[in-house]
Amino acid sequence: MSAPFLEEHLRTLHLPTVLQNYKRLAQGDDARISYLGELSSLEVSKRHENGVRARILSAKFPVIKTMESFDFALQPELPRRKLTELLDCKFIDEKRNVVFIGTTGVGKTHLLTAIGITACTNGYRVLFATAAELLMTLIAAKRVDRLDVRLKAIERYHFLIIDELGYIPFEREATDLLFQVISSRYERGSIGITTNLAFPNWTDIFPDAMAASAIVDRLIHHGVIFELSGESHRLRSRKKAGAKQSPS
């Protein structure tokens, strides 16, 4: 291993003393430098692996999904290239949002989870929660006067994923908190959302039409929108399984 790569690894590992003294101690012996380089490379790889694992666990994904395991044949109209471009995670650096709209079971959560997993792999902090889970934790924090603490904790995540928005109606207190979360991240942090409601129907979530309009405006201003259609993948699988079991 060449010295530049070794020095890059030592900087990554935050070992300034080793970086300053390894040449003197190696006394020009390339074998010693190569040996140290191999060790530092292994340490960098292991720390990266441990970091990825820790970020995925911290994100609280319900299941692990990848883009490779998604059946794009079931969504032929989905702009695959536009979708896979998100895997470089530049949208997180640019504080942009990602919204998947469609009926239950068409793959919205799968795709958003795959993007979240990739973000964790690339070093970003991600939080996954259903809309119901997120709002229940916020309401609970508000009850014990710790809402600000909880909101600040959420702000530390680079990418906040809110799953199943619109599946369950919420009381005004909950929708006000949701408005607060989304508004506070506007141009400050990325949000990913899956919803079964088209934007004109978001008044079903937010009783206040002006609040609904303001939320939609913030999401789409710096957002990428994907609409999925078709039959539920799970329902299709059950139908196929039933057809195989039926007597001929």
245 burial level (CB within 10 Å; 0-12, 13-18, 19+): exposed
- Give pLDDT, residue 209: 81
Mean pLDDT over each residue of the chain, to the nearest integer: 89
Residue 195: strand pairing partners: 101, 165
User: Could you tell me the residue ranges of all domains in the chain?
Assistant: 3-59, 72-235
Going by pLDDT thresholds of 50, 70 and 90, the confidence category of residue 148 is very high
pLDDT tens-digit map of 7-59: 898 898 899 999 999 888 888 888 888 889 899 999 988 988 999 999 999 99
Nearest-angstrom CA–CA distance, 129 and 145: 22
Contact 137, 169 (CB under 8 A): no
Within 33-176, strands assigned E span 97-101, 126-130, 159-165
At which residue do the structure tokens 């990428």 appear? 224
Nearest-angstrom CA–CA distance, 36 and 123: 25
Output DSSP code: residue 228.
-
Q: Is residue 171 pLDDT above 90, yes or no?
A: no
Three-state DSSP state, 223? strand
Going by pLDDT thresholds of 50, 70 and 90, the confidence category of residue 92 is very high
**Which strands form 159-165's sheet, in the order they lie side by side?**
126-130, 159-165, 190-195, 97-101, 223-227
Q: Which residues contact 3 (CB under 8 A, 6 or more apart)?
A: 23, 33
Answer yes or no: CATH 3.40.50.300 is held by domain 72-235: yes
pLDDT tens-digit map of 74-85: 899 999 999 999
* Residue 110, CA distances (Å) to 23, 62, 69 in order: 49, 10, 9
Q: Is residue 66 pLDDT above 60, yes or no?
A: yes
Q: Is residue 132 pLDDT above 70, yes or no?
A: yes
* Residue 119, CA distances (Å) to 88, 92, 127, 216 in order: 8, 8, 11, 24
The number of CA neighbours under 13 Å toward the Cβ of 190 is 27
Q: Is residue 213 pLDDT above 90, yes or no?
A: no
Nearest-angstrom CA–CA distance, 160 and 166: 17
- Give pLDDT, residue 232: 66
pTM for this model (two decimals): 0.84
